[in-house]
Amino acid sequence: MSDRVWPELSPFHTGVRGRCPRCGDGHLFDGFLKLRPKCEVCGLDYSFADPADGPAFFVMMFACVPLVILALWLEVKYQAPLWVHLVVTLPFGLATCIPPLRPLKGWLVASQFYFKAEEGRLVRKDELN
């Protein structure tokens, strides 16, 4: 299987669907956010993947900022009691923060594979020659 030529697949399409970035058929996740050790179809080892806090960062920037604005608006405009915040802001927060985590993590892992991203290394000038 190692000598097979794999087509270049879009990291967005494979990652968002939670599919293997190499073959597009195998599953990327074992559970909600836990990565599988390897693809069950093509055998790609997922140990290269390290999305770290990337998915959480994107969710915070695109979901939590509007959530805080909503909570502040409710408080300033209506002086809403705590139960209103629990009924309105909590479900809004859960609905906008949890569902995007898996597609974002899949997209970041697939992008790492597609662009062959590796850990950064510091190299001295004399080592380049």
With tokens 């209103």, the residue in question is: 84
Reported as a single tens digit per residue, the pLDDT across 16-73 is: 999 999 999 999 999 999 999 999 999 999 999 999 999 999 998 899 889 999 999 9
- What are the distances in angstroms from CA 19 to CA 37, 52, 108? 13, 19, 12
Question: For residues 28 and 68, what is the distance between their CA atoms, to the nearest angstrom?
Answer: 32
Instruction: Provide the b/e sequence for 82-116 (b: ≥16 CB within 10 Å).
Output: eeeeeeebeeebeebbeebbbebbbbbbbbbbbee
pTM as predicted: 0.84
Closest alpha carbon to 30 in 116, 105, 118, 115: 105
Can you give the residue ranges of every domain in the chain?
11-117
